[in-house]
């Protein structure tokens, strides 16, 4: 087949080009093989984009295959969430949905084949004894006392394991390779263990389950995968991957190729740690917008295009590195700046009464829906006698060069009039409850007054009579240090106490009442915000996706 042209390609695509040009393969088949034991995170997005992206580029196919060999940790919930995440990112497996459990019968037969060939044996040692007997990088392993059992005895014991005649953990099936091999993965690895656990697809049919290393390569071969792409932690497993393919009657010979995983600062990528965050209630579920899970990023309002662009930007290499969260956030801003509709919102409202504006009157103001996208058209919203501004847009005793509202000072209301603060109203405790202002009728949108005076301050606002009540959740990074995994103490010691701030009394522009759940918009001056999935007409909830600027740049500069 023809090879797609590109000015520069990563090393994986160069390998594929060579395989196609040489005639080794006439098509490209990749696979994405997640374990259904948790939700996918952004690190998985890199693998998804690579595997499905290559299939699209080369006119091949990418399989979605669930590695469901550990039923005690697996759940249909995870299967469904993984499917949803992949499709949300913009990819589809078509008819090629598979499960490792589809191959349990074949894998069992191949395990018996290794036994018949004298290349596998049943071991009665405990897992701890096996671990100790494996040795280390400087010390060779020691043979199991059960290593020289006959093929006939091993076969009968393995059949008895399958029938459930032994207790969990009492026996395992191991490959018979080399206990002195310099690669520890080759020192008689475990192929099967006894585990009485209900499987989400096969029920209680099996009480023995294959290990990942014995499952993965053979599943690739059965599906005629040409290039098995995985992250660098599996590089030391490749000799074992190839050993199985060489010693079993597999129908094809896939090639394993490793690449660096996606690491991101200010977060953790371990499924075990993410599960701990969920189970210990440090976050509100797998799709909490602070989580690096794909479902969390979706709920936070990240566009799938931004995640795909990020994966493309960081590229495919053999070198481990940590990527900056700011780079991902910058890509999110780029997409949303182009696509997101603009609205006004006030998160911490302070009422302003415009005393010289007629009571009961309102007027319509027109402005562009998105200045970056002319096709978005215009939006219309109301102006009236009572409005809300942000509380921090007013200061009673301002410092020099303070350009927002203060007593006797004028500001421009965004897209509307000049107003001047004439009186500050306070409650019995001295708290400011509202401002009384006057407006200049000679300053409609875009015009300065006839006397030529100008103001530097512009504040956003919403009409009180036309506003929508909402709760706005201000999400920030979940951890306060760049590398929570390597910082002093445990990763939980570095949770950011300010990762979530709720603003329960926000006032939004009336047009925001009709924005559907899941859409991300810009609150002018404040950032990008997504309508939460739990938002309703009675209880509008918005999640901050990202600010208009990198608020962490100054923090990093000081550190």
Active-site annotation, residues? 35, 261, 271
Answer left, alpha or beta for residue 326, where phi above 0 means left and psi between -120 and 50 means alpha: alpha
Q: Which among 63, 59, 62, 64 has a CA at the least distance from the CA of 20?
A: 59
Edge-first strand listing for the sheet containing 61-66? 29-32, 61-66, 97-99
How deeply is 167 buried, as exposed, middle or buried, from its count of CB atoms within 10 A (0-12, 13-18, 19+)?
exposed
Structure token digits, residue 193: 């263990």
How many whole angstroms separate alpha carbon 323 and alpha carbon 310? 10
What is the per-residue burial (b if ≥16 Cβ within 10 Å, else e) of 1-34?
Answer: eeeeeeeebbebbeebbebbeeeebeebbbbbbb
Strand partners, 372: none
- For 359-368, letters b (16+ CB in 10 Å) and e give eeeeeebebe
CA distances from 39 to 76, 82, 327, 407 (A): 11, 7, 23, 53
- Residue 479 · residue 266 · CB < 8 Å: yes
Task: Determine the distance from the C-alpha atom of residue 340 to the mean position of all C-alpha atoms in its chain, rounded to a whole number.
Answer: 20
Q: How many CB atoms lie within 10 A of CB 86?
A: 22
- What the block records as the tokens of 168 is 């969990």
Q: What are phi and psi of 208, to 5 degrees?
A: -120, 140
CA dihedral of 152, 158, 159, 164, whole degrees rounded to 10: 150
Q: Where are the beta strands (DSSP E) in 355-448?
A: 362-368, 378-384, 386-390, 410-413, 418-426, 432-439
β-pair type (362-368, 378-384): antiparallel
Element (H, E) at 468: strand 468-475
Q: CB within 8 A of 112, min separation 6: which ones? A: 155, 158
**3-state DSSP call for residue 227?**
strand
Show the beta-strand stretches assigned E in 176-315: 190-194, 208-210, 227-231, 255-259, 263-264
Which helix or strand (DSSP H or E) is residue 473 part of?
strand 468-475
Report the 10 Å Cβ neighbour count for 136.
9
CB 90 within 8 A of CB 55: no
């Amino acid at each position: 087949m023809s090879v797609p042209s590109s000015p520069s390609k990563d090393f994986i695509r160069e390998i594929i080009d060579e395989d196609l040009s040489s005639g080794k393969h006439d098509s490209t088949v990749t696979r994405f093989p997640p374990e259904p034991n948790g939700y996918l995170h952004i690190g998985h997005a890199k693998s998804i984009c690579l595997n499905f992206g290559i299939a699209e580029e080369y006119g091949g196919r990418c399989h979605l295959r669930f590695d469901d060999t550990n039923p005690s940790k697996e759940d249909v919930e995870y299967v469904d969430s993984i499917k949803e995440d992949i499709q949300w990112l913009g990819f589809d497996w078509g008819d090629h949905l598979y499960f490792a459990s589809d191959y349990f019968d074949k894998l069992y037969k191949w395990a018996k084949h290794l036994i018949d060939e004298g290349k596998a044996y049943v071991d009665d040692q405990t897992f701890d004894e096996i671990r100790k007997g494996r040795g280390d990088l400087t010390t060779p392993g020691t043979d199991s006392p059960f290593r020289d059992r006959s093929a006939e005895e091993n076969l009968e014991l393995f059949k008895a394991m399958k029938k459930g005649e032994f207790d969990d953990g009492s026996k395992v099936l191991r490959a018979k390779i080399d206990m002195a091999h310099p690669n520890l993965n080759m020192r008689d690895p475990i192929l099967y263990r006894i585990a009485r656990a209900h499987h989400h697809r096969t029920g209680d049919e099996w009480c023995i389950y294959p290990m990942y290393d014995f499952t993965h390569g053979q599943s690739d071969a059965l599906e005629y995968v040409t290039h098995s792409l995985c992250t660098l932690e599996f590089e030391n497993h490749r000799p074992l991957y190839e050993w199985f393919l060489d010693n079993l009657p597999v129908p094809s010979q896939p090639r394993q190729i490793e690449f660096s995983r996606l690491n991101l600062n200010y977060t953790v990528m371990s499924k075990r740690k993410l599960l701990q965050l969920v189970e210990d209630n440090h976050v509100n579920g797998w799709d909490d917008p602070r989580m690096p899970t794909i479902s969390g990023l979706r709920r936070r309002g990240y566009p799938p295009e931004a995640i795909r662009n990020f994966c493309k930007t960081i590229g495919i290499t053999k070198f481990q590195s940590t990527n900056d969260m700011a780079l991902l956030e910058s890509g999110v801003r780029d997409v949303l700046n182009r696509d997101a509709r603009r609205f006004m919102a006030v998160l911490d409202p302070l009422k302003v009464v415009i005393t010289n504006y007629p009571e009961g009157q309102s007027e319509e103001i027109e402005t562009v829906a998105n200045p970056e996208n002319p096709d978005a058209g215009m939006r219309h919203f109301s102006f009236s006698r009572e409005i809300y501004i942000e509380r921090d847009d007013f200061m009673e005793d301002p410092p020099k060069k303070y350009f927002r509202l203060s007593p006797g000072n004028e500001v421009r209301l965004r897209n509307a009039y000049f107003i001047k603060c004439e009186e500050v109203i306070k409650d019995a405790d001295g708290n400011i409850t509202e401002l009384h202002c006057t407006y200049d009728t000679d300053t409609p949108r875009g015009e300065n007054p006839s006397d030529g005076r100008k103001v530097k301050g512009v504040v956003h606002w919403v009409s009180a009579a036309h506003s929508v009540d909402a709760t706005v959740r201000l999400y920030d990074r979940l951890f306060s240090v760049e590398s929570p995994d390597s910082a002093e103490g445990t990763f939980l010691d570095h949770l950011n106490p300010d990762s979530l701030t709720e603003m329960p009394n926000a006032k939004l522009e009336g047009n925001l009442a009709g924005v559907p759940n899941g859409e991300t918009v810009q609150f002018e001056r404040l950032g990008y915000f997504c309508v939460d999935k739990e938002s309703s007409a009675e209880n509008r909830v918005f999640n901050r996706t990202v600010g208009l600027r990198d608020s962490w740049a100054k923090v990093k500069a000081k550190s």
